Amino acid sequence: MDRNGASVRLALGAAVALPGAFLGLFFAYPLGSILARGLTGDGSVELRPGVLWFSVWQAGASTALTLVLGLPLAWVVARFDFPGRALVRALVVVPFVLPTVVVATAFLTLLPEGQQRGILPILAAHVFFNVAIVVRIVGGYWARIHPRLWEAAATLGAGPASRLRTVTLPVLAPALAAAAALVFLFSFTSFGVVLILGGPTRSTLETEIYYQAARMFDLRAAAVLSLVQLGCVGAIVGVAGRLDRCVAGARMVAPESDVLVRAQGRQRVVVAGILGAAAVGLGAPLAALVERSLSAPGGYGLTFYRALGEETPALLVVPWRAALNSLAFAAVATGIALVVGGIVAAAVARSRATWLDQFAMLPLGASAVMLGYGFVIAFDDPPLDLRSSPLLVPVAQALVAVPFVVRILTSALRSIDERLRDAAAVLGASRARVIREIDLPLVLRSFGLAAGFALAISLGDFGATVFVARSDWPTVPVAIFRFLGRPGAENAGEAAALSVVLMTMTMAAMLAADRLGGGRRGL
C-alpha cells in the first residue's frame, strides 16, 4: 500500500509539473518581467490625468446600471414559469461570451452619428455584456428562496415597495454583492469596449497600458500602470471570491420547482413587458450589426462579405485569411487549455490541491492587456525570443481559457461517485483501467462543454492578442479593430461583416458546447 501510495504521489507530481511549468513560464514569468520593469529604472512617469479615477468611476456606474436593469429580468426568470423560460436563460448568456470587438462594433452601428463614442456607449455596452451575470447569479439564488417569506410580509400588511425594501433586498444581499463584484471586475478590466467606444478622451488603466506601450513606446509607464492594475485586480478578485463563497455557502430553503408560478392577471403584462424590453435591449445591437453588414452602397446584399476575399490597405492579408487564422489559433489554444486544464482538474479533484486550483485561476483575474504586454517584454531576448513566433497567440488565448476548463472539469470529476471506482478496484481493475472505463466516459460531456467554452473564448480574445499577433497573421478581432481605425463607409461595412462572421463562429462554438454538455450552461 505504501509503495502504491508513493507511486500515485510520484505520478501526480509528474503530471502537475506540466501545467505548473506552463503557467510558470507563460504567466508568472511575464508578470515578473512587468514587476522588474516597473520597479527599476530612473526617471518620472508622465501619464494622462484621470485614468485611475475614470477606470473606477465607469466600472462603478456600469455595475449600478447592470444591477438596476438586470434585476427585473432576474425576477421574471427566477419566479415565473412560462413557455421558453429555458431558452431565455440560455440566450441571455450569449452577449457575455461574444467578443468585445463585436459588441463595440454593434453599438457603433446602432447609435446615431455623433453619439457613437463617449461614456454612455461604454456604459450601455457593459450592461449588455454583464446582465447575464445578474440573471444567472441573482436569479439562481432568488429561485431557491421560498415564497412564504413574501406571503408572510404581505399578511402583515407590507405593500410591494415595503416588501422589496425590507424582505427582498436583504435576502438577496449576498447574491447582489457577489454579482456586483464580478460586474465591477469585468467592467474595470474592459479593454475592447473602452478602446473602440471611448474615443480619444476616455481612457482606463487597460487602454492606457496599450496606449503607452503600443503608441508612445513608453514601456516603463506601461509597466507602472500594469502594477497599479495588478493591485486593483487582486483586491477585486479577493472581494469577489469571498462574496462568491458566501453565496455558495448560503442555505436555500426550497428547490426551484417549488417556487415557480404562472403569471396571472396584471403579472402577465409586467412579465411580458420585461421580456420584451430584454429582447429589444439584447437583440437590437446584434440586429443592427447584421443590417449594417448587408447595407451596401447599391442596396442590401453581400457586397461587404465578398470584399472580405479581396486585398485591402487595412491588412497585409485578405480578411478571410484572418478568419482562418482565428480558427487555427483557437483550435491550438483549445488543445493547450484542455491538456493543461484537464491535468489541473484531475489533480485538484483527486488530491484536493487547492493551491494548484487557485494558481490556475490567476489568469482569469489578471488583465488580458497586462498578459499581452508581459509577453512583449518577457519574450524579447534570447533564449526566449518568441515575439516573432505566431505560437504566442494561441498560448495567450489558452491562458485565458484554462480557468474555465479547470472549473468545468473539476466539478465533473468531483461529481463521480467514489463507490464506482472502489467497486472496479475490488474487481481487479488497475488505476489506468478505472480512469479509462469509468472517469473518462462520465466526464466526456463536460469535456466537450469545456472544449466549446475554450474555443469561444479563444476566438474572441482581443486584449492579449492585439499585443502579440503579427501583422501578417492577424486574427478576426485584430482585423476588425484595424478596419474601424480607418475612415470610410467601406471599412465600416467590412468591419461589420467580419464582426458577423466572428459572432457566428463564437455562437456556433457555444451551441456545440451546449449540445456536448447535455444542455448545461454556465458563465
Task: Decide which of 195 and 258 is more confident.
Answer: 195
pLDDT category, 520, cuts 50, 70, 90? very low
**Distance (Å, whole) CA 151 – CA 258:** 14
Residue ending a domain, among 273, 299, 325, is 299
Contacts of 37 (CB under 8 A, 6+ apart): 219, 220, 223, 377
- pLDDT-derived band at 389 (thresholds 50, 70, 90) equals confident
Is residue 245 located within the same domain as residue 373? no
- Whether residue 41 is contained in a domain is answered as no
Asked if the structure places residue 99 within a domain, the reply is yes
Q: What is the mean pLDDT of the chain?
A: 78
pLDDT score at 316: 80
Cα pseudo-dihedral 109, 113, 119, 121, rounded to 10 = -20
Whether the per-residue pLDDT at 252 is higher than 70: the answer is no
Q: What is the mean pLDDT of residues 24-32?
A: 85
Q: Are residues 24 and 100 in the same domain?
A: no
Shared domain check, 73 and 14: no
In sequence order, which ranges of 461-488 are alpha helices (DSSP H)?
465-468, 476-484
Task: Report which of 294, 319, 315 is spatially closest to residue 304, judged by C-alpha positions.
Answer: 294
Q: How confident is the model at residue 335 (pLDDT cuts 50, 70, 90)?
A: very high
In this structure, is residue 153 part of a structural domain?
Answer: yes
Range 321-332 average pLDDT: 91
Specify if 198 maps to a domain. Answer: yes
Does one domain contain both 1 and 134?
no
Average the pLDDT over each of 7-16, 82-91, 165-174, 467-476 and give the range with the smallest value: 7-16
Say whether both 18 and 53 belong to one domain: no
Cell of 155: 399578511
199 belongs to a structural domain = yes
Question: Do 516 and 387 share a domain, yes or no?
Answer: yes
Of 84-98, 228-242, 246-260, 300-314, where does mean pLDDT reach its minimum?
A: 246-260
* 64 and 194 co-located in one domain: yes
In this structure, the answer to whether residues 451 and 337 fall within a common structural domain is yes
Which residue, 299, 331, 365, sits at the end of a domain? Answer: 299
More confident residue, 329 or 512: 329
Are residues 359 and 284 located together in one domain of the fold? Answer: no
For residue 2, give Cα distances in angstroms to 5, 93, 349, 425.
5, 48, 21, 17
Q: The domain containing residue 210 runs over which residues?
A: 46-299
Residue 40 lies in a domain: no
Same domain, 285 and 392: no
Asked if the structure places residue 196 within a domain, the reply is yes
Residues 378 and 456 in one domain: yes
Count of structural domains, the chain: 2
Mean pLDDT of 347-373: 70
Residues with Cβ within 8 Å of 218's Cβ and at least 6 positions away in sequence, in order, are 45, 212
CATH code, domain with 210: 1.10.3720.10
Q: What is the pLDDT of residues 37-75, one digit of tens each?
A: 766 766 566 666 678 889 999 999 999 999 999 999 988
Identity of the highest mean pLDDT range in 206-215, 324-333, 418-427: 324-333
The answer to whether residue 155 is domain-embedded is yes
Q: Do 21 and 123 belong to one domain?
A: no
Domain boundary, last residue among 299, 323, 339: 299
Alpha helices per DSSP H over 251-318: 256-259, 266-294, 303-307
